[in-house]
Amino acid sequence: MTPFLKTIRWILWKDLVIELRCRETIASMVFFALIVILIFSFSFSMDQQAAHDVLAGMIWVAFAFTGMIGLGKSFSAELQNDCLEALQMAPVSRGTLYLGKVAANFAFMFVVEILLFPMFVILFNVDVVEDLSLLLVVFSLATAGLAAVGTLFAALTVHIRAREVMLPILLLPMVVPVMIAAVEATKGALNGDPLSLYRPWLELLAIFDVVFTIVSFWMFDFVMDA
């Protein structure tokens, strides 16, 4: 394995070990998402039918806000004892650090999404299509997009005083395309529509992922380096 991949693996390892030890990021993300759903259903007084129409939207609003919690934590956890400084002084390219963090964030977000989806199915009485594999593709493409931009922005906001709020403020407008495409593609996949109907959305997601991973990879240098 190249040193490049090794470093990425070590960063992933570190985040996973800490998560396995404290089990708080994933648990709290799932829990938070449940409460968001609950509050939505009260505030929008949704009956089952109305809920069905906006299900995909609700799923992605919940995922986005939940993901933001994970993203925020992934860098704020580095503030304990100024560990972030140590990362900044590490003799590896900033891009490596970026990819390591993206991998960890993607892993957390994806696991949480997989745990949450059944709850949506039950609470809103969705008729699930047989073939979930397309849905998984949609989830992973959209999550990758959120993680790619989100990781960069989490690093960017971590030293800002009002960090908890700056992350959503900066990130959400940026990922509007991801949100729209994810909602539309999820609708299609949930309805069992033929792939051709929502394929453009998947392509949009894929393009977004590639473009923003590359751009963020370069930009990370300027975010992390003094």
Partner 1 sequence: MTIHRVIRHVQRYQGWVGGGAALCLTVGLYLGLLGSPPDYYQGEVVRIMYIHVPLAHTALLGYTVLAGGSAWYLWKRDPIIDNMCHAVAALSACFTALALLTGMIWGKPTWDTWWTWDARLTSFTVLLLILLGYLMVRTVVDDLDKAARYGAVLAILGFVDLPIIHFSVEWWRTLHQPQSISMRGVSIASGLLAPLVVMSVGMSLLFSYMLMIRTQLLYLNRLLDAKKGRLLHQFHMSKADS
Partner 2 sequence: MSMTAISCQHLGKAYGHYQVLHDVNLTLAPGECFTLLGPNGAGKTTLLKILATLQRPSEGHYEMLGMNGQTDRDALRSHFVFLAHSTHVYDDLNARENLAFALALRGQRPTDHDIKMALDRVHIGAFAEMKTRHYSAGMKKRLALARTMLARPRILLLDEPFTALDSDGTAIMRDYIGERLSDNGTVIMATHDPEQARPVTTRAGRLRHGTLQEIALDSCVRRNDGRDMQPDDAFS
Binding at 117: pick from a copy of itself, partner 2, partner 1, none (beta carbon under 5-8 Å per type): none
Contacts of 136 (CB under 8 A, 6+ apart): none
Q: How far is the CB of 214 from a copy of itself (least distance, A)?
A: 25
- Binding of a copy of itself at residue 79 (CB under 8 A)? no
Could you tell me if 58 and 40 are in contact, meaning their C-beta atoms sit under 8 angstroms apart? yes
Total residues at interface with partner 1 (CB under 8 A): 49
Identity of the residue, 3 or 173, whose beta carbon is nearer to partner 2 in the bound complex: 3
Q: Binding to a copy of itself by residue 112, rule CB under 8 A? A: no
Report the site for a copy of itself in 155-174 (rule: CB under 8 A): 161-162, 164-166, 168-169, 172-173
User: Counting contacts by CB under 8 A, is residue 25 touching a copy of itself?
Assistant: yes
Q: Pick the closer one to a copy of itself by CB: 97 or 183.
A: 183
Closest CA to 25 of 82, 84, 108, 102: 108
Among positions 5, 38, 211, 215, the unique one binding a copy of itself when judged by CB under 8 A: 38
Q: Does 31 bind a copy of itself (CB under 8 A)?
A: yes
Q: 91 touches which of partner 2, partner 1, a copy of itself, none (CB within 5 to 8 A by kind)? A: partner 2
Q: Closest Cα to residue 213, out of 135, 65, 83, 99?
A: 99
The residue among 20, 165, 223, 186 whose CA lies nearest residue 104 is 20
**Contacts to partner 1 from residues 206-225, by CB under 8 A:** 207-208, 211-212, 215-216, 219, 222-223
Residue numbers at the binding site for partner 2 (CB under 8 A): 3, 6-7, 10, 13-14, 17-18, 21-22, 80-83, 85-93, 225-226
Binding site for partner 1 (CB under 8 A): 22-24, 27-28, 31, 34-35, 38, 41-42, 45-48, 122-125, 149, 152, 156, 159-162, 166, 169-170, 173-174, 176-177, 180-181, 184, 200-201, 204, 207-208, 211-212, 215-216, 219, 222-223, 226
